Amino acid sequence: MTCNIDETHDPALVAWVASANGHSDFPVQNLPYAIFRRGDDRARIGVAIGEQILDLAAVADLGLVDADLIAVLQSATLNDLLALTPAARRRLRHRLSFLLSDRGYEAALLPHLVAGADCTLGLPATIGDYTDFYVGIHHALNVGSLFRPDAPLLPNYRHIPIGYHGRASSIRPSGQPVRRPNGQLKLAGQEEPTFGPSRRLDFELELGIWIAGENELGRPIPIGEAPKHIGGFCLLNDWSARDIQAWEYQPLGPFLSKNFHSTISPWIITPEALAPFRQAQPARSEGEPRPLAYLWDESDQHQGGLALDMEVLICTERMRANSISPKRLCRTKTSHMYWTAAQIVTHHASNGCNLNPGDLLGTGTISGPTRDAFGSLLEISSGGAEPVTLPTGETRTFVEDGDEIILRARAEREGFASIGFGECRAVVQPAVT
Ligand code: MN
């Protein structure tokens, strides 16, 4: 990775926006971007600072950024920002860090700070394409043993980052409800399939990777260049209907069990913000194949991993009615990714497939090795056999109507300010009848 630690990461840096200092997600060391809307106002680019959002279109109008960034910040999507070079993106970060920490700009910028609670956050970018991978090796092992007990991990897994093309049109930002899908189900004990609401609706805890820059069609992205094609990260809940999936997935893979809705967190956390939280990719053990040369880069192996803690919580309708706090279903780490973000990007473009700014890649479900670290209910409930008991006495094997699923992620490291991703949440609504 080419991102360096600099003065914008200084844990002693203080913002003049009081709520930012010590904020669990958005201190001045984070500076993530989103598209926000206040009331009927147009969609605008903002940067999170504590509980507030700074309107970057206004910052551009005031002429407080370099001339080449003005139009980028006046856009209604982050696609142009994602098309910036890493150097230009770093320049913007430095400028915003300075403007938000130098009291000399407080009077000019105060009128352009809005309370996050008063805003609706939209999709960060117009998403041209969405691809979902399968790099959580514990998830692959767990699901593999449920679907194919004789061969849980297929022979290709340790050689190739497995993925499939998802659907961009049904990706929605956090907060928008999810409609339970109808589909073809082959129920246990029945000879013929039926059509109806999924009975095994599930979440998948994933990291989203925002593509920056573009590669010309026919021109692969060398692994050493892959970091330049990553513009940021978000949380991704890849909602999955396990019963539809089990019936439809052979031989071409996931289809309607996955493309009815995917929820993402609205903030793009930049690679620069995550620079202090890079780590080595876990070494492969004796006997595991070394990745092919096009996927191997010493620097990527040395610092291409991410040190993020992720968690999933559930809050049922009854829990909300009784003011019971959401219950954690799992807690895991991005170090359980078998392939790095750079390897995912390079593999995707290795045949010449062109990736564009605003494309979204999902890592696949990131499970840990134990039940309390499994990133889907399919795994937590062992395919529906072992229900989870909630504080109300309710039990769950899969997601029920009225349940809200909440994803969170945080980065912590001694000597640095912790940063968070914000939330990715959605309530499940009954199927269309
Ligand atoms: Mn997935």
Q: How many CB atoms lie within 10 A of CB 36?
A: 23
Cβ–Cβ under 8 Å, residues 366 and 336: yes
Ligand 1 centroid vs 362 CA: distance in angstroms? 7
Question: What is the band of 393 on the pLDDT scale with cuts at 50, 70, 90?
Answer: very high
Q: What is the DSSP string of 270-319?
A: -TTTTGGGEEPPPPPPTTSPPPPGGG--HHHHHH-EE-EEEEEEEE-HHH
Ligand 1 centroid vs 166 CA: distance in angstroms? 9
pLDDT given for residue 39 in this prediction: 87
Calculate the dihedral angle through the C-alpha atoms of 57, 62, 67, 71, rounding to the nearest 10 degrees. 20
Question: What is the band of 3 on the pLDDT scale with cuts at 50, 70, 90?
Answer: low
Render pLDDT for 121-147 as a digit per residue (tens, 0 to 9): 999 999 999 999 999 999 999 999 987
CATH topology for 130-429?
A: Fumarylacetoacetate hydrolase; domain 2 (3.90.850)
Q: Please count the helices (runs of H) and the strands (runs of E) in the chain.
A: 11, 25
Cβ–Cβ under 8 Å, residues 112 and 54: yes
CATH number of 7-121: 2.30.30.230
Instruction: Specify the range with the lowest mean pLDDT, choosing from 90-94, 145-149, 230-234, 352-356.
Output: 145-149
Q: Is the pLDDT of residue 65 over 90?
A: yes
- pLDDT above 70 covers what percent of the chain? 99
Ligand 1 centroid vs 365 CA: distance in angstroms? 6
Q: How many CB atoms lie within 10 A of CB 180?
A: 21
pLDDT given for residue 146 in this prediction: 87
Residue whose tokens read 């980052």: 161
Closest of 244, 237, 242, 239 to residue 259, by C-alpha: 239
Render pLDDT for 15-59 as a digit per residue (tens, 0 to 9): 999 999 999 999 999 999 999 999 889 999 999 999 999 999 999
Length of the chain in terms of residues written: 433
Ligand 1 centroid vs 337 CA: distance in angstroms? 13
Identify the active-site residue in 139, 229, 336, 347. 139
Q: How many whole angstroms separate alpha carbon 388 and alpha carbon 393?
A: 10
Q: How many whole angstroms separate alpha carbon 135 and alpha carbon 166?
A: 15
Ligand 1 centroid vs 64 CA: distance in angstroms? 41
Cβ–Cβ under 8 Å, residues 131 and 348: yes
Closest of 40, 41, 49 to residue 15, by C-alpha: 49
What residue spans in the chain does CATH classification 2.30.30.230 cover? Answer: 7-121
Cβ–Cβ under 8 Å, residues 64 and 19: no
Mean of the pLDDT values across residues 208-224?
97
Tell me phi and psi for residue 12, to 5 degrees: -85, -10
Residue whose tokens read 């340790």: 158
Render pLDDT for 400-414 as a digit per residue (tens, 0 to 9): 999 999 999 999 999
Q: How many whole angstroms separate alpha carbon 96 and alpha carbon 113?
A: 13
pLDDT given for residue 2 in this prediction: 47
Ligand 1 centroid vs 298 CA: distance in angstroms? 28
Q: What is the DSSP string of 328-376?
A: EEEEEEGGGBSS-HHHHHHHHHTTS----TT-EEE------SSGGG-SS
Q: In the predicted model, what is the mean pLDDT of the chain?
A: 97
Mean of the pLDDT values across residues 50-72?
98
Mean of the pLDDT values across residues 97-114?
98
pLDDT given for residue 103 in this prediction: 98
* Residue 139 annotated among the catalytic residues of the structure: yes
Give the burial class of 231: count Cβ atoms within 10 A of its Cβ; 0-12 exposed, 13-18 middle, 19 or more buried. buried
Ligand 1 centroid vs 203 CA: distance in angstroms? 9
Mean of the pLDDT values across residues 307-327?
98
Ligand 1 centroid vs 165 CA: distance in angstroms? 11
Q: Is the pLDDT of residue 1 over 60?
A: no
Q: How many whole angstroms separate alpha carbon 335 and alpha carbon 309?
A: 9
pLDDT given for residue 40 in this prediction: 83
Mean of the pLDDT values across residues 262-275?
98
Q: Specify the pairing of strand 178-179 against strand 419-429.
A: parallel
- Residue 137 belongs to what H/E stretch? helix 137-147
What residue spans in the chain does CATH classification 3.90.850.10 cover? Answer: 130-429
Q: Is the pLDDT of residue 109 over 70?
A: yes
Q: How many whole angstroms separate alpha carbon 433 and alpha carbon 165?
A: 29
